[in-house]
Amino acid sequence: MQVLKFGGTSVANAANISKVISIVQNKSKTGNTIVVVSALSGITDLLLDAASLAASANTDYKEKLKIIEQRHNTCVEELIPTATQPALFSIVAAACNEIQEICNGIFLLGECSPRSKDRISSYGEWLSSRIITEACMSIGLKAVWKDSRELIQTNSAFTAAEVDFTASNHQIRSFFDKAHAQVFILPGFIAADKNGITTTLGRGGSDYTAAIIAAAIDAAELEIWTDVSGMMTADPRLTANAKIIPAISYHEAMELSHFGAKVIYPPTIQPVMTKNIPVWIKNTFAPGDHGTVIAGKDHPGIDMNHDNSSIVRGISSINNIVLISLEGSGMIGIPGFSKRLFEALSNERINVILITQSSSEHSITVAINGNEMIKAKQAVDLAFANEIALQKVEPLKVETELSIVALVGENMKNHTGVSGRMFSAMGRNGVNIRAIAQGSSEKNISAVIGTKDVRKAINILHEEFFETSYKQVNIFLCGTGNVGNKFLAQLNKQLSFLLTHMRLQVRLAGICNSRTMVIREEGIALDEWPEKLQAGNKTDLQQFVDNVVTLNLRNSVFIDITANEQVAALYNQLLRKSISVVACNKIAASSAYHQYKQLKELAAEYNAPFLFETNVGAGLPVIGTLNDLMKSGDRVHRIEAVLSGTLNFVFNNYDGKRKFADVVKQAQAEGYTEPDPRLDLGGTDVMRKIMILAREAGERIEMEDIINHSFMPASCMTGTVDEFYKAMEQQEAHFKSLFDDATAAGCTLKFVASFNEGKASVGLQHIDPKHDLYHLYGKDNVVLFYTERYKDQPLVIKGAGAGADVTASGVFADMLRAVK
């Protein structure tokens, strides 16, 4: 004999019930079938809402009752042949009259007892099972209806009654040994105590009803039919990449259901596990899908090791968790505190979900349902009132807005480092863990985290343990100028390469410029970003960053391709939320030393890389190489560098025949200069760059510590950009004399940055042909590192040091480093 149970969504309406009947008809061909059904979807809530309204003297309960009767009558009209409808209409009407009489009594009394709740809520399953029985009979099935209250006996703990298995098993076997039918249909959820008074098995108890029946009659299997095709590796509402679990053990299923997996009611497993009866989770709306089988490891014909590579079987979570902590120096070494704490909670029937205790015995922390917080605090504070008064323990501490995330899998005990991977993955993404629990059986590792981080944590862990195919990266870009455009074009071109060869799925989740901004959790197509941005909201930089933080996506990287001081001022907020920052913007790294240092420390503290390779040398690996030298124990004595692609371009192209101002205009037109070229020509940009290198080499240095031997006349450094160009034309003789002097000496002009044993300077120098800086062409940069290891022959890094393409590629490389 087989047992089938259909949930509320499966019997939500006539159309769904027709699917149920089709499944029952096919299954009954293979043997006698017991069918347990839930109430029509939403009916139990309507019944309890009606009772609650009646108890509060609100006559709206009558409207709820009308809806209940109408929904059942509609099912009768659509499912039952006209000739037999009157009898069933009478049954529905009689039941609804009884419900109204009970509600009228509750209305008069002004209260709804647990016993009354059980009585009212029982009508949902009772009515649905009567209608489904008649519908089965109308298509020729030999169906018999049986009231579950005559089979399952419980105690009198109304709303959460405990089953008397001895009495129940006897009644179940006695009935089915004598009864004969093709199909038996029973209401789930409901039972009765020894006096015949209606009780219920708790919300979701229809699964339990089916399991009790299946175990009592030694059924071949139990099938739970619902609206999903099995248990999943995670809640599909939280992660789009959740997968069906083909097979799972009883213990793993119990752990997942206990920690929030809604597919199966937690107590369901125990009765069938005792009898080694397999449980199938099937989809009413896709009956051909394989589903999930829950069975013992050695059950014949079921492969529980379908995926040997899977260390973790599933990830689950519970929301509305509260941590309560009993702390105090008076607890240390004194036995009995734990016992009294748990007694206080037990006396109030408060279920403890998770327990953790410090080895010093200074504190005990337990997790409970948030709805029981007030009751728990009152009970524990009362139990320890004397110790609190004597200051041996502190009043119970309560932390709210928490959730539990749990990894479940029997295979975890055979692998080291699972908990390390779990906590590291969450830590890298800024998910703070408040408490941890792991049983000695190692089937479950649980962590208490902030509720706001649940979606992020589930996705992080699912990616870590199930998605070997790729890692999702979410980037937020600020700045869509020349470099920003090139970066997005390069990213779009490389998307398939990153996915195939680096297993990175990079998404543009947000973008802004000086005018508009847009953020999309689902991502912005890289070939549509200009249109999306144009249609975005007016830019508010603080709001943009707030949205990035609130969205709380995993593996987030903020990329700043601006020269905006306001953007740089927001880095600290991002790093504190473990959001990596890639800065093409030099302002932060060249700001006051204490600000630079704070950002570096925040990056280390919150495990969020702060990278700014393109601050010096565009796409050249200058800072990365310097960092590698320092990490490996080398020491920098001296740096000589040509760090301005703009100035190198200008002096490589100025020959005394063309005006100096015209060469600068060409450099600006080709995108080599800052918006205001004076930042380049005046040496300010080079000063920033050598300061950044000196800081990365371990030197505490500020801008005012750097000597600037400027070659620009003072008259050129004031006024507007247009006035600047006019002033340069007037000073052409000055620039020509600089060129002529260098040529006469057989040298070229280079604007050189130097750092030597703590001292830094920048200025125009004559470079002879034997010097390492001589052979620089176009927009090239070069950096010479003289270190403890590279004393006589410097480590040289040379290449294009300006241009949108190479700068964008440097940003791209930093982004990849950030997510690695």
Distance CA 115, CA 143 (A): 31
Are the C-beta atoms of 741 and 676 separated by less than 8 Å? no
Q: How far out from the chain centre does Cα 783 lie?
A: 42
Distance CA 406, CA 255 (A): 9
User: CA torsion angle for 526, 517, 478, 451 (degrees, to 10)?
Assistant: -90
Are the C-beta atoms of 188 and 209 separated by less than 8 Å? yes
Distance CA 597, CA 209 (A): 63
| Secondary structure of residue 815 in the 3-state scheme | helix
| Residue that the structure tokens 């089916």 belong to | 210
Distance CA 257, CA 251 (A): 10
Distance CA 454, CA 459 (A): 9
Distance CA 466, CA 800 (A): 42
The percent of the chain in helix, strand and coil, each rounded to the nearest 5, is: 45, 20, 35
Please give the backbone phi and psi of residue 561, each rounded to the nearest 5 degrees, phi first. -115, 55
HSE at residue 250, side-chain half, CA atoms within 13 A, is: 20
- Produce one character per residue of 237-262: b if its CB has 16 or more CB atoms within 10 Å, e if not: ebbeebbbbbbbbbbbbbbbbbbbbe
Which residues are catalytically annotated?
689
Radius of gyration of the chain measured on its C-alpha atoms: 37
Helix (H) or strand (E) holding 206: helix 205-216
How do 636-642 and 780-787 pair as beta strands? antiparallel
Are the C-beta atoms of 676 and 721 separated by less than 8 Å? yes
Distance CA 564, CA 480 (A): 13
Distance CA 191, CA 197 (A): 8
Nearest to 688 by CA among 708, 663, 673: 708
Nearest to 678 by CA among 645, 735, 725, 643: 725
Q: How many residues does the chain have?
A: 820
| Residue that the structure tokens 């030298």 belong to | 629
Give the DSSP letter of residue 703: G
CA distances to 12, 182, 230, 285, 288 from 282, in Å: 16, 21, 6, 9, 9
User: Which tokens go with 464?
Assistant: 């870590």
CA angle 528, 531, 532 (to 5 degrees): 80
Distance CA 167, CA 333 (A): 46
CA distances to 28, 266, 394 from 371, in Å: 44, 19, 22
Distance CA 579, CA 582 (A): 10
Are the C-beta atoms of 685 and 741 separated by less than 8 Å? no
| Secondary structure of residue 301 in the 3-state scheme | coil
Nearest to 756 by CA among 786, 783, 782: 786
Distance CA 434, CA 323 (A): 9
Q: How far out from the chain centre does Cα 452 lie?
A: 9
Are the C-beta atoms of 814 and 621 separated by less than 8 Å? no
Nearest to 673 by CA among 708, 721, 728, 742: 721
User: Which tokens go with 126?
Assistant: 């009772």
